[in-house]
Each structure stands twice: as C-alpha cells, then as structure tokens.
Structure 1
C-alpha cells in the first residue's frame, strides 16, 4: 500500500482520537460570546432585580443560571458614548466619543478587532448609533441613527435596505440567522444590540393590548421638588409632566393636541408621532388604532377637568405602559436566543451577557431619560451566564463598569489585553478565584447645553458614598450617603458631619482622574468644542 494512503488513513482515525483526548485532558475550546445590549433598559425593569414593575422571565434565566451584578455602572450615561466605551475599553475623554454629537473614530483599536485578528468570527447586529461603517466585524447589520420600531431601515454590510417587521424581532432574527450560518470551525462573538426600550416606545402589536391595561406602581419620588439638591436637578428638562412629548411619547394624535390646546414640548413632537406610526402597514396601523384610539378618546373627555397631579399620574402610566411593552419583546428575544443555543448544543460553551447602554429613570424624581450620575441613570442591569466557568445563582455587588467589558471578553478569548485599555477583566470575580476589586468608579458627562439640559459633571462613587462636581455654567458639589439616603434626596456636601468623608472622596477623585488621565485640560478642550457648536 502506498505510504501517503496509509498516512491519510491513520490521520482520519487520529484526529477524532486527538480531539477526544483534548476533551478528556481538560483542554477547552475558546468560548463563543453573545453580548446583548438593549437601549435605555433600567435595571428596575428587569424582574430579577426585584422592583416588581414587570416580568422578564427570559432575562431572569441568566440570573438563575449565572451571575447578577447589583452595582454595575457606566462611565458616561449616554447611548453612543457608552457603546464607544464598550468597544474600546477606554473612557470617553480618551476614545473621543464624549457625547452623541462627536464623531467616533472607527480606525482606533477595539476589542472586536482584536478578536478578529485572533481567529474569531465577529458580527454587530442592531443599534450602534455611531456614524461610519463599523470596523472589527465580519458582518454588520446596523440601524441608522436611533432606528425605527416598525419596518426599519438597516445598513447591512454597508448597504441600506428597509426590512419589513418589528425591529426587536428583526434584530433577533438576524442574530440567530448569523449564528446558524457561521463558520463552525471558528469561535464567534456577536454584539446583539436592541433598539428597545428607547424613546418613543412603540411596543410590538402582540403586546399592546396587555400592556396598555397595566397599572404600574408609582415611585415614591414621582413628585420630587428637588429641594435637597442643587441647580442641576432643579433645571434639568426631563420631567414626565413638563418635558415629555404629548404626541410622540404619550401617543396623543396631533389633531387631538390641537383640539385640546396642547403645545409641542419639542419641535419634533408631532413629527415623531406621524413618522413613527406612518411606517406601519395598513393592517399594523389598524391593529394599533384599535387599542390606542379608545385610550385617547377617554383622555379627551377627562383632560379638561384633570389637575396637574392627575395629569402627571396619567402621563406616568402611559409612559410606563409603552416602555414596559417594548421591554417585553426584548425579553422574548433573549428567550429565543437561549433556546436556540441549547437546541444547537452551544449553550455550555457560550458566554451570554445581558446589559443596557446605561440606566434610565422610570419616574423616579419625576423623570424619564438618563445622563445624571444619580443611581437610576448610573447603574445598569448586568447578568452573565457561562456554564463552563460561572456558578449558578450568584449575585455580586462589585463595582464593575462598562469600561471592563472589552478586557473581560478578551481575557475569556485568550487574547492579550492591550495596555492602553483602561478597564479590568472581571473574569476572576465571576469564577470566584479572586474577590478583590476596585473600591471606587469614575464618571463623566459632557452633553450640555443640549436636550434635557443636564449640566456637565464628573464624580466618584464608592460602595456607600458619591461625590459629584457640576461645572460649566455652575460650580457646585454634591455628596450623597447611599446607605442612609438611597434615593439621593439630600446633598450633604456642606454637612460638618461628613467633612472627613468629603475629604477622602476628594482625594479618591483626584487619584482616579490621574489614573484615567483625565484633567481640567480635558474639560476645557471639550468646553471649547461646545462653545464653537453654539456660535
């Protein structure tokens, strides 16, 4: 028999035996990664966190089968900057994406590029909210800007096309389809980014009948008067009664607004309603109107005699019904993904992360939106499942940040973390091999003056305390004792009882600004950019 034929025959037998030997010796394949990021999903609206607002059984599965972080935070509570931090592992003042207006430089390194260079297949599907063709991905299907809920436009590998359907379901479909068609010889990483529950909150038709009937518990601070805080809280424009759009947000038809004498809060209020619902097919619009028309007819009757308190409560319910309705479809998508992974034998060796680009106000302090360093905005849901390494049912209060995602995922993939990344891998926190971690996090916010008028600020948060400096057109400091004042109702910066706490926090703040290479020079540089925009 010819020698090459013998060799080929022997290899055919040897390769499966080698693979089996590797498995038996504990050699593991590199994990697959599914990173699920929703947009503006407050941790209060994940039922595993225990706030009782809604039920998210599929997201909760990640908590039961993995770890839930109770104090995960972001470095800059705004959509596009948060995504830039995820990709680069660097603070906004380093990666350059300080706000939603600044351009993101895709030429800089990111963790997806690193994974690509080390044998991973990579994909980005859904919302990224940054201009330019995404780099670091073998496949991308991204929404344009904020994206649309019904029959949205996607840019798929650089080409724009409208895709019929509901955006949350479509993003899920595309993600599962890409995983199914991948090269099975390589590990994969997919960023599965949902638009929901971003404003203006249009739920899927299958959820509107149920969720428009919800009676949601009001937060204790819904009627906050902001007396315990400074200028920033008092002047922010995100109050549900005063600043939320009537048509686009509360779904009151523009013609009805005119009849009732309701004025647009923002110039694009009526246009948002017309454009968003105008994307629906005739059948979709008919199903929508069948549910919402009676609600609006009832409001029309009641409005003339409603007090401001009654109106605030009505608007809060309208807001939460639609918001939680959009979350329901996100949870459906998580369930479909987890079932798909299990059915296809991928669940054991796939890291699944669920998080949001930041937190969100669900009526706390009377607000919607985010931006502040206050808790509801700063903290984000974070649940991670990886059966091969992470124990089930674990809860962690460690101060992890979105800054840490890139180095953590590279660590799991066996890829060296670039030295200029500012985050830390929290893999050893997850597997319990090392419980030591940072004792404070650093935060910055720059998008002012702009929509919602949240003043520029930076600050430090420890497990118990928070120190914030508001600047630009004010110079004010706020200090909160989160143990005694979890809702952050009273600024104790000038309280003599907190003098030593204030001193220690200031030292920590100076230390972190130096560690992360932030300074007043950065603030001035970005202020000059803002001034030019205003001219």
Structure 2
C-alpha cells in the first residue's frame, strides 16, 4: 500500500476513534443510575473477605467497580439512615433518628427550590425516576401503619415519576415486608412466628422475587426511552425475618457457619450502650431469646447465621438477574450501579442481635459502586466514607451541579485514584450518643447519666471493639474530642 494511502487510512482511523471517544464522553454526561438498597446488609459478602457466604453476583459487580471497606451510616436504623442518604444531611434533631424521619420531615412538604432528595434533584435535571420496593423507609414508598390499609400518600411526594410495587399474595407493602411463604406475615400471626424460614418455594415465593420481576420488566421499557433514568430497587432481605427459599439454605453446611468472634459485652462500658435485642425477640417463637445476661447457644447462633447468609444469597441471586438483564439490554455500558446496605447488624456481637448501637457492627455496611466510565476495576477503597457522601458523589458522576448546602462531600476522587484522601472521618448518631470513626479509632460520646460516657476503641489492635480504653488514653481523647464535637449538629447538649 502506498505511503500516502497509509497516512490517509491512519488519519481516518484516528478520527473515527476520536469521534467515538467524544460520543462516549457525551454519553457520560448523563449516565443511568441503578441504585440497589439492601436492608440490614452488613459487610457479609465474599468481596469483603467473608469465608463462607455465597454472593457471586455482588462480588462480580464489585470486580468491575469499587468496594468500600470503610463505609459508615449516619444512623443505625432503617428510616433515619435512609433520610440521611436521601438528603445528604446528618441528623440535627431527635426526629432525624427515628424510622419516621422521612414521613415527618418530607412527606407533607410542598415542593421548594431545595430538592427533597437526591432522586428529586436528578428528576429536576432530566432523569426519569422509578422506585421499586423499599428505597425510603416504607416497604412500598407509601405512608401507612403496619396493620393499616395501603394509602396513596407518598413518602417522597416529588421524587418519583413512577413508584411501583407488587405485594403479591401479601396484599400490602408492610405485610410483604414481614412475609412468610404461606401468605401470612408477622402482623397477621400476632408475632407468633420464628425469626427465620426455609420456604419450599421458588424465588417469587417471597416478595423480593416479585420486586426483581418488576425491575426487569421496567428495564426493558426504559431501554428505548429518551434521556437518562434513575431506578431505585429496594430489597427487604436480609432484614428480619431471615426468610429465604430453601435452595439458598442448601448452599451451606451448618457446621461451617462462623459465629461472632466476640459475643461478649465489651470491658469498661455501661450496658446502656447496648440493648436487649428487642426487635429480634419480637419474633416470639424463636428457639431462644437472647439478652445481655444470657447469650444464645452456639448451635442457635449457627442456625441464625445460616439463615442470615441464606437471605443474602437469595438477594444476591435477585441482583444477579437484574445485572444479567442490564447486560442483555446493553444498558450496562451507560449505567452506574450502586449497592448500598442501609446499616449493619450484630449477629450476636457484643451479645446483641440487631442494629441500634454505635458499635462497628451496626454502623459499617456494604457499599459497592460500579461505573462503566472510570478505570477502577476490582478496587478495594479503604477511605472512610459516610452515607451522606453518596448524594454528592452520584451528582458528580452524573455531572449534575448542587446549588444548595448539604453535609456530604463527594468521594469520587478516592475511588478513581486521582486524589487519595486519608483525612476522612465518619459521624454516627444513636442512643443519646455521637460516634466518630477515624482510620484508627472509634470514639463515642454519650449524653447520659450512666458512666462511662466516653468510649474509645483502637481498631488496629482491637477490631472487634472488645475493650473501652478511654480511661487509659486521656491524650488520645483530648486530641480527638474537638473533631467529634464538630459532628454535633445541635442534636445533643451536655446534661
């Protein structure tokens, strides 16, 4: 081939790739967002190093993106944690610590210049928004009590173009949330139920399977829709009751299920920092009823761990089905995927079964972000990030400016590798306390009469938070306390 033709061909090829790259950059300005919330999901996944759990789909998504090992929620209870997520704001008054936070602070409000949620902000900026399942606190996004008829009042009145849910044979969202395979639920059975079930059903025999069907059907519709979309998919499990189809239980050998490495009460603390596992014991037919005086047996701890892992594997399979469909439709090339656990959960750790503490097990939860536009495959990000930071991070990835003030700060740079950030801290709030997490320490201050009111844990030498060392380290307390006080947004005052 003559040299002149070689040069011409090279020029044409170069122009082709430059044009393609510019087109890709144009697409990047408005990627789709698939946001998956998973209730009560602590970092119990293979990608986090769990030795037994079967979570191949979430692990695979993480391998194409980033897994955040130090993600901490603001509040270790469902509604309040989601309020912080949606608004990008830390709690500043007692209502912000309640499951009713979204209902009380957002549901009855008129639309203003300040968006009610990051979803509302995306909607205002050209996104078609679809909610399926539990994204806000309510199981179906509507405001009504556990045993009341379904209402038409939305928890997020201005955020959704479409709000969808299939309650199946359970009839209401809250019945579905506490569902058993026979169509009954915790309420209908007056809490005379076990906190676990291995149902002889297929995936659609529990509500999360129906949510998956809805999500897949909606993705097929959205494929041909002009403009970007935000789809929120909220799964119930592994929230209590730990119910999953038996085939997911069958993935595990009971004797291989690990139990808590520290099922004892930490040294040098007040019992007021813990609780008596009331939510868990509300399932009246449980084999045992643990409290701070009486831990469960090893056999029962393994059974409950088995149930929790089976529930995770069930949800992992649902996420896998959605992920597969995204790829079949070609939407994976322009969709950011976020998998978020709304808080952690004590599996007998510190003698607690449940959330609702300011210990690591209740505050550290799953966060995985997969973006097709950044070079961050199979990265474990150790930077400390907070749930409130997710709002601005998504906005930055979607090239959407924020003109109002929020507490969160984008951590996008920390996982694309352009600016390592080692100075991050996380603040969490509950039980009349504020907890500060740094890369080495957890410092917690309680505003109560019961002593001690200060707890300090060294996560380098004591990752399971077994011993409060505050009294032995006054200089560390002195150095960290001003940083902790910065997180007091007016929520607490000295006695």
| TM norm. shorter chain > 0.5 | yes
Distance 1:362 1:264 in 2: 11
- What is aligned with 1:365? 350
User: 1:87 and 1:169 mapped to 2: Cα distance?
Assistant: 25
Q: Is 1:194 matched up with 2:235?
A: yes
Q: Of 122, 138, 152, which aligns to 2:161?
A: 138
Residues 75-114 of structure 1: CA distance to partner in whole angstroms, max 9, x if unpaired? 1111011111111111122695321244342336211111
How far is the alpha carbon of 1:164 from its aligned partner?
7.3
Report deviation, 1:492. 1.1
Q: Which residue of 2 aligns with 1:219?
A: 260
Distance 2:364 2:129 in 1: 28
Q: Residues of 1 paired with 2:74 and 2:55: CA distance?
A: 26
Q: Is the 8 A contact 2:66 2:377 kept in 1?
A: yes
Task: State how far apart, in whole Å, the 2-side matches of 1:327 and 1:137 are.
Answer: 28
| Residue 378 of structure 2: aligned partner | 393
For residue 392 of structure 2, what is the aligned residue in structure 1? 407
Q: How many residues align?
A: 425
1:467 is aligned to: 443
- Partners in 2 of 1:176 and 1:81 — Cα distance? 29
Distance of 2:375 and 2:318 partners within structure 1: 23
Structure 1: distance between partners of 2:252 and 2:271: 36
| Counterpart residue number, 1:176 | 216
The alpha carbon displacement at 1:25 in A equals 5.6
- CA RMSD, 1 decimal: 3.1
* Larger helix proportion of the pair: 1
Structure 2 runs not aligned, ≥5 long? 1-14, 110-114, 144-152, 166-171, 186-202
Structure 1 contact 202–326 (Cα < 8 Å) conserved: yes
Kindly indicate whether the alpha-carbon contact (under 8 Å) linking 2:385 and 2:411 is maintained by their aligned counterparts in 1. Answer: yes
Q: Deviations over 1:418-437 (max 9, x none)?
A: 43211011222222222236
Deviation at 1:71, TM superposition (A): 0.6
**Cα deviation per residue 1:279-325 (whole Å; 9 max; x = unaligned)?**
xxxxxxxxxxxxxxxxxxxxxxxxxxxxx78x611221221122111
Deviation at 1:486, TM superposition (A): 1.0
Equivalent positions of 1:227-376 (< 5 A) are 227-233=267-273, 236-238=275-277, 244=281, 247-248=284-285, 250=286, 312-376=297-361
* 1:494 and 2:493 correspond: no
Matched residue, 2:35: 35
One of 422, 429, 432 as aligned partner of 1:456: 432
Would you say 1:381 and 2:421 are equivalent positions? no
The two structures have a TM-score, normalised by structure 2, of 0.78
Structure 1 unpaired stretches of 5+: 1-16, 154-162, 253-261, 266-307, 446-454, 528-535
Question: In 2, Cα distance between the equivalents of 1:369 and 1:231?
Answer: 15
Asked whether the 8 Å contact 1:42–1:362 carries over to 2, the reply is no
TM-score of the aligned structures, taking structure 1 as reference length:
0.73
Instruction: Please state how far the C-alpha of 1:438 moved relative to its aligned partner.
Output: 4.1
Q: 1:264/1:27 Cα in 2 relative to 1: closer, same or farther (>3 Å)?
A: closer
Q: Deviations over 1:365-385 (max 9, x none)?
A: 232211222111111111111
Q: How many angstroms apart in 2 are the aligned matches of 1:95 and 1:229?
A: 24
